[in-house]
Amino acid sequence: MDIVYRRDPQNYLKLVAALTPLAPYLRGAPPGLPFRFDALSLQRGLNFTLTTSAGDIDLLGEITGGGGFDELRPYCVTLKVYGMDLLCLGLDRLIHVKRAAGRPKDLEAIAELETLRADGNETKDESPPV
């Protein structure tokens, strides 16, 4: 799961409270490498690729081609998942950021996302507010 988070002190504390029970650890780091998942680490870092007891999470302060949370917010749609409202990038912006990232796995996903868009699954105008 990729999560783009707002970079402010209150949100760092919320993220730490939500993810600490899942035992986050740097994905790919050797076992035993000292890593403290706390608000100070979030403040000093930007993007974290984590493994947790619930699976892998990429905690992203910014993404290529999209910026941070506040820049991406206008391009989000609200989806209800397990009874919770989640903000998710709309298909047009998701395709845009995957194309900007240019990684092979992102480029491979674009065709599938474009098929979803062609099938009418986009639920929000992708134009940012003026």
d(CA 37, CA 44) in angstroms, rounded, equals: 11
In angstroms, the Cα distances linking 82 to 39, 68, 100 are 27, 25, 31
d(CA 26, CA 57) in angstroms, rounded, equals: 10
20 falls within a domain: yes
37 falls within a domain: yes
- The residues near 55 (Cβ < 8 Å, ≥ 6 apart) are 1
Shared domain for 56 and 15, answered yes or no, is yes
- Cα angle 114-118-124, degrees, rounded to a multiple of 5: 90
Shared domain for 18 and 48, answered yes or no, is yes
Shared domain for 34 and 7, answered yes or no, is yes
43 falls within a domain: yes
What pLDDT does 122 receive?
Answer: 54
Given 40, 60, 80, which residue is the final one in a domain?
A: 60
Give the domain extent around 48: 2-60
d(CA 116, CA 104) in angstroms, rounded, equals: 19
Instruction: Going residue by residue through the chain, which has 130 residues, state the pLDDT in tens, using 9 for 90 and above.
Output: 899 999 999 999 999 999 999 999 999 999 889 999 999 999 999 999 999 999 999 999 999 999 999 999 999 999 999 999 999 999 999 999 999 999 998 988 998 999 888 887 654 445 554 3
Number of structural domains (the chain) is 2
